[in-house]
Structures are given as structure tokens and as C-alpha cells.
Structure 1
Amino acid sequence: MVKEERNLSLENQKLKQENKLLKKEIYNLKLALKNAQKYSEIEHSNRNKTSLVESNTAAPSKAIKDNSSSAINKYASPAKKISLYNSLFKGRSDVYAEKFIHSKTNKPGYAPKKRPYWERTDENPYVSLTPHVINQHLTGQIIAGLFPITLDDKCYLLAIDLDGNEWMEDVKVIREVCSSYTIPISVERSQSGNGGHCWFFFETEVNASIARKMGTELIKQSMVRRHELDFASFDRLFPNQDTVPKGGLGNLIALPLQKQARQKGNSLFIDNQFDPIEDQWAYLSSIKKITPEQLFSYIDKLREDNSPYESGDKESDKGLNNNDFPKTVKITLGNMLQIEKKDISSKGLSHLKWMAAFYNPEFYQLQAMRRSTYRVQRVITCHEETTSQLLLPRGLKEKVVDLLEGLNIFVKIDDVRNKGEKLSVQFNGDLRPEQAEAVKKMNNHDTGVLCGSTAFGKTIAAIDLIAEKKVNTLILVNKVSLANQWRKRMQEFMMTEDSDDEIVQVGQLGGGKKTLTNQIDIALLQSLYRKGEVHECVDNYGMIIVDECHHISAFSFENVLKKANPTYVYGLTATPVRKDGHHPIIHMQCGDIRYQDDVKKVAEERPFSHVLVPRFTPLDPTLNRDANLQSVYSDLITNESRNKMIVEDIVSNSKENRNGLVLSERIEHVKTIETLLKEELEHVYVLSGSQGKKKNESVMNNLENLPENSCFTIVSTGKYIGEGFDESRLDSLFLAMPISWKGRLQQYAGRLHRLHEGKSEVRVYDYADIHVPVLERMYQKRLKGYAGMGYEVQTHNQDKLKQLIFDGDNYYDSLKQDLVGSVNHILISSPSLSQKQIDIIKGDLSLLKSKITIITKNSDTIKNAEHRQYKIQLITELTRLGFSVINSDSVYQRYVIVDHSIIWYGSIDLLGRQYRDSSFMRIESPVLAREIEQITKENKK
């Protein structure tokens, strides 16, 4: 009996479990039926809106006579619809974004959907994009977003987001372009209803970079046909980068057909009349996808047709003709070129706008480093526009006039610039021939840039230009020290015409002064632009001179010149190229370069030699190579051995009665070096923005009062003293922290190039941290800069100069002499290999008696199979020739060591591809040679 009761109890539990499962299954079936009914109701509400289903090729729409005959239509099951949906809107499947409303700001946003914290792992932190999630999106439970770029930098689709009041006009022109090139396009009204998404679907996944090229060329061609299409459209591509940013997911796009939005007539695909297509699912099933072959074909055709219009240079003018402009183009010349748009074609206006635009290097640099480009413009534009006029920067006047006159268009210019007030001044001095030539060339134009190396005498040349023009002038500077230098030079070289000994009064705004005279004034740019407003005084002058005009690209400084309306605008600089690539703005505001000296030729003509003393530091080669640059800098400035080397060099230099300038990029490093130096030297001065104006003025006074025969050392930051600092006694520079940009190197070295009685040699001590890859690459860039400035190499404690730094054109004959003279061993580090270069050099190497060891990048580290096989073949050939080849995963340095003593070090791959702008320097140093060879042994392990 007990046994039977137990069996009945077990049977009862089994039946209950089955009953529970059946109830759950019935519930799921009812839910699916309910969802299907909801789909039907929503689609039914749009049934009578239109009877057309638009082809996604922008071809004429075709009526659907029998929806039920479509592979998928609105009557299909939810499962089939979701399957179709997933086949089109593909991207990252391991993550999706979900819309939310911020609790504090009440503003909407999207965020990646994360797993519950108890399920979350570092490898799998996000909720996957599953059919269930898509179902939730379509049924209105959530609003989902897609990350279109995959982990391997590919995508299955491209989208262009268009918004603003004229988004429909923008869509029309993009549809028109797609129709011209037979590119399949699908247009969706956005969830807000205030914009549209142009979708393009690919048959297979393609590189995001290739997909984006098609999008870029589409936008360019659309701008030719409709100039009103905003340059910001380049930033509204999905995906918005060629690669996945490191630690990021890329941009996201809201998925279409979201329920709540659909009920408002939004998030739906629309026809040529911007009406929702009746059967969204039948339309999606009819979409034609782009094959890889078609994609490349579209890009090639678009590029060919776009090339005449986008660049705005003279070569590109061939895409225009005189039918694009009226017979007479009216231009008002004021603070900007105000061009009447009437009767100018969209093609012509688009071309004019491109003249005032350029691609932003910062965008591409961030992208190359796999960093986010969020809110970084891809194209920078400097034009403005009204309903009747196109406004371009004044510096483009000559280019615009040349363009129009080249098309036989008459240009009518109404000059409304401020002619200024006449000055009764004269130049009190003599110009050197090169200065006189520069003034003459500048004087021939209303705008222009004088590009002269440090110590050229740009300030003096500009003072002579003021005397030539004789019109009231505003001089713009960005530092108080520059303002002080201008006042000092004015007292020396400018006089009134009425009296040979009467000094011209110079006013100033900024730096604690407000003494404008409206005759000759100096103003700090920072004082002219406050709280978004430009000081009204800029309207009062007939001429503006911008010192260190490479800074004018800054937004606030650029606005000052945009507001100013003088007849003459000139810029002065030693570095016309900016590190951020924004130098085109200099020429748009100040005009083209009218005079530029030859840096190397100027160096040869100076009455002193230019010496580079390379110092290879003991910075720990085991430093974490994956650390970010700021962490590397922190380790660098606290490295005792490195700081000791720098201080010993400074002290030794001072004992030779030389005056040194020590530059770092960190205040704490400046303080460390100051403390160490004051234990050894008497006259050590610190200049930095952090210690205040009064302290710096006191230091400068002490320097000026220091006897001529007393040597001194200045310790400062590059930011404070790197440009505009005038102390002609300086003859030695110590680069205590690495830099890479050649423009900054020229500025820093330029502190030594001012003429001074008795100066016979200037030296730069460069501390090369060759054991740290990122710092070693920075050193390679500096080497090119030294070569461009005419510096010669001298190793530490070496009595005489050995050689100029060699470049890619002239190094080999001298290197060959060292190779032929070798009696023991030759070590070649060449990370990359080239068949062409090996064929050129293998004959010479084969004749050498010394043993030859070659270290190169391990072929296993090369991802591309074809490139990997090519490398293996080259390594095999070198081995067959009798050379010992070491494969290293971490080799990055490029050098040749001859007989453990002669080093050729630089950016030249002896066995790799050759570049003219690469450099090699020859060093005789057994100690350094042994150190590098030891690193090679570690790599071999």
C-alpha cells in the first residue's frame, strides 16, 4: 500500500509538471498570436496611404498587385519578419544600445545594454542583439540601436543621417545621385520625424573604410548638385569611423520600424513623395543589396566625377565653365569676401565653398590610433552664408578672382575696407638684403605671410612695412613677452617724420595695460575676444599685423580677424605649418606666403656652427610598452639616472663658459632640474607661467643685469619660452623631454640662433630614449628636423665634428666605406624587407669578409597571408646568401653596427623600402654599440 501511494504521488507530480509546461506553451502561443494581430492592425492603418512599393534602386515605383505573392509581406509570421529584418540590419550581434530618458536632464540618450552585474564579465559585459530583442523593439517594448561596425572593422550596411529644416531636399538630391549611378538606396523617416536615414545594404560584409568612401563620394556629388547640403553631413555617416575605436563600440543608429514611432508615421520607409510605403515588409524583402564589385565600381565612378569640384584649387577649375556663373559676379570686399549668389549654379557655389574648406587631420590621426572621433569634424569649413550671399575669408580673394577671370567672368568688386588714418612715421635703420626682399614682396599685396626662421628679423621687417604703408596699425600678439619685444623694437627702429629723434608712441591693450592710441597699437589676442565678443577697437585700423600668426587658427583668435576690416592684413611666423594641420586657416585669414627663407641656407650663412650632441639615455628598456604616453613621461621625468646625465651635461657645458637653456614640458621636471643644478651652479634662473608675472619679470631683470662674462642657465617649459623669447647670449639647448614635431623643434632651436658677439657655436643636447619604442620614434622625427636645419653631429666628449646627418639620398656611399673597412662583424637591424633593396645591396654585402647578422620583424607577426609569405621568401633568400637572420617580434629600431664601434642610427631600413626624407647619423661609440647589441641578444631570446 505504501509503495502504491508513493507511485501515485510521483505520477501526480509528473502530471503537474507536464501541466505547467503545457500552460507555458499555450501562453507563448497566445502571445505570438497577439503580436501578429498587432502587426496586422498597424499595417492595416497604413493600407490606404499608397498603393505603390518603391524600388530601392530609385527606379520608378511598381504597384504590388498581390501582396500575398511576395516572399515576405505584412501577412508573414513574426518569425519570418524578424529573420528578414536581421538579414538587413546587421552589425555587432554581441551588443546593442537601448534608448533611455536621463533622470536629471529629462533628455533622451542611448547606452549599450549591459548584463545584470551577477552575469557580467570583462569578456562579455553586454546583452546580445537577439531575435527576442528585435521583437521587443518592433512591438514597442524598447527602442533599440545598432552598432554597425564589427570587431574586425567591417560592416554590412551604410547609412547617412540627414536632419534640419531642409532634410527632404537633401534626401531628394541623394536619391537623384543614386538614380544617376544606379545605386540601390532605401530612405527611412527618422523616429522623430524631423529627418531621414538613407540606407545602403551590402551583399557581404565589407571593410568599413570602403563603405564610408562610397558615402563620402555620394555626399560630395550631392553637394555639387545641391550646395546647401551641409559639410557636417560627412560626420553623419554610420559607421562614422574606418576602425573600431580602442575601448569603444563606434557610433550607433536607431533601428527602424519601432512601434511607437510607426504609430506616428515615423521610423518607416518612405517613397519619392515622402509617404510611408504601404507594405513595409514586402518592401524590405525587395531591397537589392550591393555586391563588393558594384561597391568599388560606384566609388570609382563617383570619384572621377567629383575630382574637378572638391579641392578648390586651380587644377580643379576644369570642372567648371562660364555657364556656372553670371556674366558679372559682384563681390563686396570687407572683413570677408561677400559674393552675390544670384545666378551662380549649385556646382559653382559648391566649388567656392570647397575653397574655404579642408580635411581635418585630427580626425584621421584619431582614427588611425583607434581613438574616438566623437564631435571631431571630418571637414573644417570657414565660409558663411546668407540667403543672398556666400561669405569667404579675405585671404581667398586672389584665388576667387583668378578662378572667375579664368572663366572670362567679369568681377565687380566693391571695396568697403577701412583705409585707416595716415601715419607720419619713418623707418630708422638698415635692412639686410633678405629683409628688404621680404618687405618688397609683402608690399606688393594687401595680404600675405612673411615666413622667416628665428633671428631673421621679422619684427624689424614689419616695422619697415608700417613705415612704407603709413597707415595706422594694430599688431596682434599672443604673449606679453612678444608685446614687450615689439615696444622695444619700435623705440629702436621707428621715428616720426617730423623729427629724427622723436620716438613714436605705441599703445597697448592687454598685459595689464589699456592705452590704445589708434595710431600704432599692440594688443593681446586674448584681450580682444572675451565672452564670445570681439573688442570694438579692431574696426579702427587700416592695417593689422599678426605676429606668430600660426596661432590664428585657434577659434577665438580667428574670430578676431573675421570681425576686423582693415585694408591690409599681414602675418609673421617661423612655422607656417601647424602640428594639428589647421594651417590653411592662416592663409584664409592672412593670405598666401609671400616670402619664405631657406632654413638650411640661412644656417650656412650664420657666423657660427650648428652642432647636435646626441645623448642616449639609460631609461629602463623594460618600461611597460603598453603604457600610455603620459605614464611614460611620468617615469621619464623621475628617472634618476636620466636626470643625472642631463645635469652633468649642463654643468660641463657651463664650465666651458657657455649659456644654456633647459626645456622640459612638465613643471615638476623643471623644479627637479633646478634643485639639482643649484647645488652645482651659481646663476640658474627659472621661467614659467606657474610662478607668476612679477616673478618672471624679476628673473628677466636679473638676467639683463648679469655681467656679459658671467655664464648662466635658464630652466623653463617649452610652452612658456619655446617661441618669442629673445636672449641672444644663449648658445646651448638641452631637450630634457622628448618632442616630435619639427615645427616645435625649429622654435626651440631658434632660441639659440640670434646673433651675438663672440658666438661661434650653438649646441643642442638631445636626450634620445631609444629603449622605449614610442620615444625612439619621436627621436627619429627630430633627426629629420636637425638635418633640415643644417646641424652636424658630435658625440659626447668628441673633439671634432664627424659628419652631417645623412638623408635617404646620400647615405649609402659613406656607409659602404664603413662596411668595406669592416674586419669583424656587421649587425643590421632592418624591421622591414624589400626585394628591390635586397637586390641592390646583396652584391656589396656578399663581397664583405665580416660575418653579417640581420635582425628583422618576425614574419609570424604579419596578419596578411600574402605579405607574410613575401617576408618568408626574403628571409629565406638572405639565409641562402650566407647571412645569419634573427626573427624578432619586438624589433623596431633601424641601425647598422660595424665592428662593435661604428653605429649608423636613424629611420632608414637598410634592407627595406627607401624614403628620401629618412635619415641616418653616424656615431663612433663602442659603449653605445655594446648596449644596442645587448638589446639584440635579448630580442633573440
Structure 2
Amino acid sequence: MAEFSKQDRIRIFTSLFKGRSDVFAKRWEKWDGGGSGYSPVYSDWSKKKFTALSGLFVEKHLIGDITVGLYPIPQDHTSHFIVADFDDGNWHEQAKCLIDECAKNDVTAYLERSRSGKGGHVWCFFEQNYSAYKSRVIFFSLLRASNNIGDFDKDDSFDRLFPNQDRLTGKGLGNLIALPLQGQPRKNGNSIFVDPTSLEPFPDQWKLLSSVEKVSVEKLDALFAKFTVPKENPVHTKNGEILITLFEYASLPKGDMNSHLTTFLREELNFFNAEYAMKKNMGIPTYALEKYFKTVLSEGGEVLVPRGFLTHLKLYLQEQGIPLKILDRRNHPEAISLHLSFELFDHQKEARTYFEKADCGVLIAPPGSGKTIMGLDLIAKKKLPALILVHRKQIYDQWLERIESFLNIPKKDVGQFASNKKSVKSPITVAMVQSLARQKDWTEKRRV
């Protein structure tokens, strides 16, 4: 006789994987294998009344007849568990790092191999329902401490944490999560809990689940307080100031940064990707599509930010009373000489004056105001080789024509980086952003 009866298994399962009980989702697949997804289960043809999740459906899930998707946030904006989903090539290492970090904080987490076998879910269960917002704050902190989220990544750049939102908006059921132990993938050793070190399945899944260590509310509150108290690490260098070194970028020593400066850079240098939101709202897969464009990097002991951000960074440090020193290590090429065959209008001259003493800036002007002409004038006045980046072929051709017409430089003498043309030349090169992004090997690209 089995140690756990059918009723025992259903009771254990529903005591751990708890969410909304008044509704659940069921996985569907197209008959030709061309797609799959989850949809709420209704009890009427008009689709106005949901079907509650009962032991019968749990049993069907466990034996493999259906796959249940659970909505983890009830209407009180709490949850009984939290799950981190890892599906990259090194998912095992990432999951193990998170589990180890949980253990350092006296939190027991469990690893489930995904139904595909190509990823894993790290589960943490609570003794009582707990604020989804607070539990997400705790796990984002643990993900950051385990290096699964970088210091300069926005928290919600890791969008594979379930519950997937802090609270329900009232406009829907929220994101769902597929429950483990589904009968069909279990036959292949997937959708089951495994040892986080060896990835070997636990021999008795029900014995493991019946002895799961749940986290108390008191422990969760203590962790929330720990991770939300600001850490006041003073900024320090040998000379009592932050050293900013200028290359093609601006570099700051990571050891000289406190939590406030880290947060400032994280918030200012991550830009939301509108394409991600558009596809998300349309129900189109967003796999491999970044939620944010990140323009701050951490390499070794240095933090790299765009040089154009230097003015904002200097203002912030001054407001915080943090002294700084700037060391210029930029490459200074030989001066160029260009002969202009045009004269700026008064409004163009006025705009140019703002750039005369500036190293960088953004020129914003309406259509037809002559931005291309002003750009050529600035290149001539700065007397430095220029790289002009464009994103459309029409604008690319326009720059080539203007350079030939107003600087008397034949198109053949202008550097061009687009399609099958890959030449970099002084004094001016025009390049398509898409071509630069696709370029893998730069060893043969020389300045002519």
C-alpha cells in the first residue's frame, strides 16, 4: 500500500500550491502543434462564471489529463508562495546561487525542473498568505545578492518572478503559473522537484512535499525590514573624492560608490523598451526582448556610464556634497580642416553658440530648420573627425549628399558603413546603426 493515498496527495498539493480558488486556467495546444497557451476555465457558455479549482481538477493535473495554471494572487493582494523562473542556458547555476543565498538568510527554497527540462523554478512557501509586494521586494533583493540581477538592473527587468505583480489592478486575474508534477512531463523526469546540487529527482516527491519548510510571517517581515533599510556606506577614496575617468565613456571606481549613487545610476540609465510593452499588451511573446535599454555597465572594479551623462552626474554629486575629480584619458585625434561652402542663417548661428564650449549635447530643432547643415558646421568648427549614425537609409543618403554638396567631399572619399560597404575614413564616416550592431569582427576594419 502506498504511503500516501490519493486524498493525501491532493491535500498536500493544495496546501502548498495555493492561489485563487474560485478560478484556474487550463493549458491548450493547437491541433497542429503551432501554438499553446492558458485560458481561464468557465462553467457557462457565456463565459461569465469561472469554474473553481477542485480536487478533481488537481487529480486530473497529477495524472496528466490536463495542465493547471494557478493565479497566485487572491483579491487581497497576497500570496502563499513566490517562484523565480530560470530558463537561460546556465539556469542550473543561477537557480543554485539563489537557493544558496536563501539559505544564508535562513530561508529554505526548492528547485523544480521545468516541464521542458530546459529550465527550473525556485519555490519558496509561506506559513500564511503574505503581501505580494513585500515578498517580491525580498526576492528581488535575494536575486540581486545572488548576482542574478546586476546592481544596475531595474528590479522588474527580471520579469520571471511569480507573483508577477505587486497587486491586482482590478482589470484582470493577473499572471498565472503552471503547477508542477503534471503527469505527462513527469514521465520524462520533468516538472518534478530535484536536488539543487546534483539535479537528481527526489525519490519520493510526496515525502518531500509533506515536509516542506515554510517561511513564517515574522521571518518575512524581518527580511523585508533588512532589505529596505538604506545602507549608508560613505563614499571614500584615498583623496576623499570620486575619480571620474573619461574615455569613450565615463568610468567610476565601483568601490567608491554608495547605495544612493548606485540607485541614482540605475534609475537614470535604464530606459523602458516601448516595443516590449506593445507586444506584452498584444499577447505577443516577448522572449529574448529586453524590457529595458541599459546604458550603465559594471566591469571588474569599474562602473561605465555614457560620457553624455557626465553633466547630470556632476550635478548629482554636487547636490550630495560628494567631491569629484575628472581625469581626461580620451583619444585626441589630429585636427582636421574643412572648407564650408555655405553660411548659416541667424537662427542656426544662435543654436551653434550653445555648442562652442561644450563637449557634448543634443540639438533639437523642427523639420526644415537645417539640422544637417548645423551638424556639418559643428564638425568643421570642432575640427575633429566625425562619425554620423543614422537609422534609416533615406537619412543616410541625405547626409552623403549634403557632405558632397556643402563640404566638397566626394562620396567616394566619405567613410560608409552600411550593407556591403564597410569603410571607415577621416574626416567623416556615415554609418547605419543596424549595420554596426550586426558587425561581429572588427579586426579588419581600419581607419583609412
Please state which band the TM-score falls in when normalised by the shorter chain.
0.5 to 0.7
Which region of structure 1 is more displaced relative to structure 2, 259-268 or 424-433? 424-433
| Superposition pairs of residues 245-284 of structure 1, within 5 angstroms | 248-273=172-197, 274-284=199-209
* 1:454-482 residue CA offsets vs partner (Å, 9 max, x unmatched): 99986665443222134565475879799
1:196 aligns with 2:120: yes
Shift of 1:234: 1.0
Aligned counterparts of 2:343 and 2:375: Cα–Cα separation in 1: 10
1:101 aligns with 2:33: no
Shift of 1:275: 2.9
Partner letter of residue 101 of structure 2?
A: V
Aligned counterparts of 1:275 and 1:331: Cα–Cα separation in 2: 50
User: Relative contact order, CA 8 A, sep 6+: which one is greater?
Assistant: 2
| Superposition pairs of residues 300-315 of structure 1, within 5 angstroms | 300-304=225-229
Aligned residue number for residue 752 of structure 1: none
Aligned in 2, Cα 1:268/1:563: closer, same or farther, shift over 3 Å? closer
| Preserved contact between residue 78 and residue 130 of structure 2 (Cα < 8 Å) | yes
Aligned in 2, Cα 1:464/1:477: closer, same or farther, shift over 3 Å? farther
Aligned in 2, Cα 1:411/1:141: closer, same or farther, shift over 3 Å? farther
Residue in structure 2 matching 1:128, options 20, 27, 52: 52
RMSD: 5.6
Partner letter of residue 136 of structure 1?
A: K
* 1:37-63 residue CA offsets vs partner (Å, 9 max, x unmatched): 6xx4xxxxxxxxxxxxxxxxxxxxxxx
* 1:87-124 residue CA offsets vs partner (Å, 9 max, x unmatched): 21111223323334322345554333444xxx433321
Shift of 1:412: 11
Shift of 1:239: 2.1
Larger radius of gyration: 1
Aligned in 2, Cα 1:520/1:213: closer, same or farther, shift over 3 Å? same
Secondary structure at the counterpart of residue 380 of structure 1: strand
| Preserved contact between residue 431 and residue 461 of structure 1 (Cα < 8 Å) | no
| Superposition pairs of residues 373-772 of structure 1, within 5 angstroms | 375=286, 378-382=291-295, 395=308, 422-425=337-340, 435=351, 437-442=353-358, 445=359, 447-450=360-363, 462-471=375-384, 473=386, 474=388, 476=390, 504=406, 516=411, 518-519=413-414, 536=421, 539-540=424-425, 542=427, 559=434
1:143 aligns with 2:61: no
| Preserved contact between residue 400 and residue 411 of structure 2 (Cα < 8 Å) | no
Superposition TM-score, scaled by structure 1 size: 0.36
Aligned counterparts of 1:91 and 1:76: Cα–Cα separation in 2: 23
Partner letter of residue 339 of structure 2?
A: S
Aligned counterparts of 2:272 and 2:168: Cα–Cα separation in 1: 19
Aligned counterparts of 1:229 and 1:281: Cα–Cα separation in 2: 38
1:358 aligns with 2:274: no
Shift of 1:238: 1.2
Aligned counterparts of 2:206 and 2:285: Cα–Cα separation in 1: 34
| Preserved contact between residue 221 and residue 302 of structure 1 (Cα < 8 Å) | no
* 1:814-847 residue CA offsets vs partner (Å, 9 max, x unmatched): xxxxxxxxxxxxxxxxxxxxxxxxxxxxxxxxxx
Partner letter of residue 112 of structure 2?
A: E
Shift of 1:290: 3.5
Aligned residue number for residue 817 of structure 1: none
| Preserved contact between residue 232 and residue 377 of structure 1 (Cα < 8 Å) | no
Aligned in 2, Cα 1:123/1:393: closer, same or farther, shift over 3 Å? same
Partner letter of residue 14 of structure 2?
A: N
Aligned residue number for residue 78 of structure 2: 154
Shift of 1:197: 0.8
Aligned counterparts of 2:30 and 2:14: Cα–Cα separation in 1: 29
Shift of 1:166: 0.9
| Preserved contact between residue 356 and residue 381 of structure 1 (Cα < 8 Å) | no
1:208 aligns with 2:208: no
Shift of 1:134: 0.9
Secondary structure at the counterpart of residue 218 of structure 1: helix
| Preserved contact between residue 223 and residue 229 of structure 1 (Cα < 8 Å) | no
Shift of 1:162: 0.6
Aligned counterparts of 2:157 and 2:111: Cα–Cα separation in 1: 16
Superposition TM-score, scaled by structure 2 size: 0.67
| Superposition pairs of residues 333-352 of structure 1, within 5 angstroms | none
Aligned counterparts of 2:377 and 2:312: Cα–Cα separation in 1: 28
Aligned in 2, Cα 1:400/1:265: closer, same or farther, shift over 3 Å? farther
Percent of aligned pairs sharing the same letter: 27
Shift of 1:272: 4.0
Aligned in 2, Cα 1:183/1:451: closer, same or farther, shift over 3 Å? farther
Aligned in 2, Cα 1:563/1:188: closer, same or farther, shift over 3 Å? closer
| Superposition pairs of residues 854-869 of structure 1, within 5 angstroms | none
Aligned counterparts of 2:101 and 2:161: Cα–Cα separation in 1: 17
Aligned in 2, Cα 1:409/1:516: closer, same or farther, shift over 3 Å? same
Aligned in 2, Cα 1:189/1:461: closer, same or farther, shift over 3 Å? same
Residue in structure 2 matching 1:180, options 84, 87, 104: 104
Residue in structure 2 matching 1:297, options 218, 222, 227: 222
Aligned counterparts of 2:267 and 2:363: Cα–Cα separation in 1: 22
Which region of structure 1 is more displaced relative to structure 2, 464-473 or 425-434? 425-434
Aligned in 2, Cα 1:382/1:79: closer, same or farther, shift over 3 Å? same
Aligned in 2, Cα 1:230/1:421: closer, same or farther, shift over 3 Å? same
Secondary structure at the counterpart of residue 235 of structure 1: coil
Aligned in 2, Cα 1:541/1:246: closer, same or farther, shift over 3 Å? farther
Aligned in 2, Cα 1:331/1:101: closer, same or farther, shift over 3 Å? farther
Shift of 1:193: 2.2
Aligned residue number for residue 164 of structure 2: 240
Aligned in 2, Cα 1:454/1:226: closer, same or farther, shift over 3 Å? closer
| Preserved contact between residue 170 and residue 229 of structure 1 (Cα < 8 Å) | no
* 1:62-101 residue CA offsets vs partner (Å, 9 max, x unmatched): xxxxxxxxxxxxx132212211211211112233233343
Aligned counterparts of 1:102 and 1:320: Cα–Cα separation in 2: 60
* 1:590-614 residue CA offsets vs partner (Å, 9 max, x unmatched): xxxxxxxxxxxxxxxxxxxxxxxxx
| Preserved contact between residue 420 and residue 540 of structure 1 (Cα < 8 Å) | no
| Preserved contact between residue 192 and residue 205 of structure 2 (Cα < 8 Å) | yes
Aligned counterparts of 1:487 and 1:466: Cα–Cα separation in 2: 14
Aligned counterparts of 2:282 and 2:376: Cα–Cα separation in 1: 46
How many residue pairs were aligned? 412
Aligned counterparts of 1:231 and 1:558: Cα–Cα separation in 2: 29
Structure with the largest fraction of helix: 1
Aligned counterparts of 1:237 and 1:144: Cα–Cα separation in 2: 18
Q: Structure 2: any 5+ residue segments left out of the alignment? A: 239-244, 315-321, 440-448
| Preserved contact between residue 98 and residue 146 of structure 2 (Cα < 8 Å) | yes
Partner letter of residue 424 of structure 1?
A: H
Aligned counterparts of 1:477 and 1:282: Cα–Cα separation in 2: 59
Shift of 1:285: 2.9
* 1:182-218 residue CA offsets vs partner (Å, 9 max, x unmatched): 2332222222222211112233334433333233222
Aligned counterparts of 1:143 and 1:559: Cα–Cα separation in 2: 42
Aligned counterparts of 1:538 and 1:207: Cα–Cα separation in 2: 57
Shift of 1:237: 1.1
